[in-house]
Each structure stands twice: as structure tokens, then as C-alpha cells.
Structure 1
């Protein structure tokens, strides 16, 4: 009898793919046997973060799908992570530790406790983020460099 494989899900916008994204995908793969990355749509990203991604969703999907730690990549087009669980039936959901102890992280934990999904937090790469990259680009464009 073979052991049941553990399926992990790691949602994200993955805009302007950078080392922080790579780190979370690499480390998320350690929490499961099969990793699915959820790439948030442009509309969902704008609703959550107040800005449209620089890279369109289908291009972000293709980038994330090509990362060797990712077994499958899907578009996340729903507002609730439980809706993605209903589609994919994963065992572990992975988020950056910037969610831990926040209202959205607490809600995530409550929601997934009810269906037996483990929430795993991974270190957030503080020195690199899409927000920081946007700020650097904006500053350089504004200064003409």
C-alpha cells in the first residue's frame, strides 16, 4: 500500500518575479509532495492590494509554472482561499509569515482548521518585494535615471 501524498497550495500574485517568490516556492515544496501554485488574477490582485500587477496574469502563470519546485500552477480567480480548496483539495496552504498574527492570517487559520488543512508560514523576504521594486522603478523614472 502506498502512502498518500501531501498536496500543498501556495497562492500569490507573483508580479515582477523575484528572489522572494523563488524562496517561498522553494521552501513551500519542502512542506508537501506535490506543490500547486495559485496565481492571483489581475482583478483579484487589484482588489486585495489596490494596484494592478505590472505583468499580466497569464504571463505570471507561465513564469510560475516553469519553476522547478512547482508541480502545477493554476489561476486563482476567487476571493476566498476555501473556494480554491474546494477545487483542488490540498492538505497544506503556505503563506508568508507577514500574515501570521494578522486578522487575515487568523481568518485563514480558522477557515482551514474546519477542513483539516494545515497553514504553514514561511519567512517573508524583507529586502525584496514587488512593492519595493515598484518604488525603485517609480523613483528612477521620476528622476530620469
Structure 2
């Protein structure tokens, strides 16, 4: 079983590790799609702090991750096709935007699964950035 998830993975933290370890527990191979800065700009107010190539390198170093695949367009079907996904793992903020609906339809037609997970409440990249900004302003 090939599990695929996507994200920014900026400022890698324990919440990311929990997500990735959970994803790995669902199958044999874990593939991770990493959003380019341009893609992140389409849905978040700030670009990542850590450059894409370094985010990729960090994910490749994790034992639970088997494949790391940057993506440069806000769509997920091509990534699912490229890795031969069986289970696509999405976050709790998964919505009904066209790029979400396209992959929902694609996977449904193939009889593949979408698994939704809740975010780890312990931390987030946004919270880490806010803490750094608060400390640097003091």
C-alpha cells in the first residue's frame, strides 16, 4: 500500500513527525508531496521560511519517509498518479475547492481511499513563527 500526503513542511516540528509516522503506519510506502513557495503563496499569507530544497532534504532524512516529491501547481491528481497512491492523507482543513474536488473524484473513481487526520495540537509552524517574532520584538 502506498500512502501519499502533501504539505508545506516549513519549520519541521513534532506535529509533522506525528503526521508522517501516522501516515507510514497506514501502508508500506510513504510518499510526501512538498509544496513549492509559489504553491504556498496561493493558499497561505506567507511564503515558507525554509527554502524548498532544504524542506525536501529534511523530509528525505526521516526514516518514515520513502519518497519526497516537490509540487509546483496547486493540484494533487498528478502526484497521486506519479506515486500510484492507495491512500491519500489530508488534514482537517480539507475543503471543497476545485483542486480538492478533482483529486476526490479521481481517487473515488479508482476506488482509492482518502483518510482525513486532525492536526497535532502541540505545535504548528505558524505558532513557532509567532513565538520567534514575539521574542525578537522584546
Same fold (TM over 0.5): yes
* Residue 56 of structure 2: aligned partner: 61
**1:106 CA drift (Å):** 6.7
Contact 1:8 1:32 in 2 (8 A): yes
User: Post-superposition, which runs of at least 4 consecutive aligned residues in structure 1 deviate over 3 A?
Assistant: 108-111
Alignment TM-score, normalising by the size of structure 1: 0.85
- Which of these residues, 19, 27, 31, is aligned with residue 32 of structure 1? 27
In the alignment, structure 2 segments of 5+ residues that lack a partner are: none
1:72 to 67, 72, 78: 67
User: Which is higher, the Rg of structure 1 or of structure 2?
Assistant: 1
Query: RMSD of the alignment, in Å?
Result: 1.8
- Cα distance between partner residues in 2 of 1:76 and 1:52: 15
Q: 1:52 to 1:124 in 2, by over 3 A?
A: same
Whether 1:16 aligns to 2:8 is no
2:96 matched residue in structure 1: 103
Q: Hey, what's the Cα distance between the residues in 2 that align with 1:79 and 1:16? A: 21
- The aligned length equals 136
> Given that residues 98 and 124 in structure 1 are in contact (C-alpha distance below 8 angstroms), is that contact kept between their aligned partners in structure 2?
no
Q: For structure 1, which runs of at least 5 residues remain unmatched after alignment?
A: 1-5
1:129 and 1:33, CA in 2 relative to 1: closer, same or farther beyond 3 A?
same
Partner residue, 1:119: 114
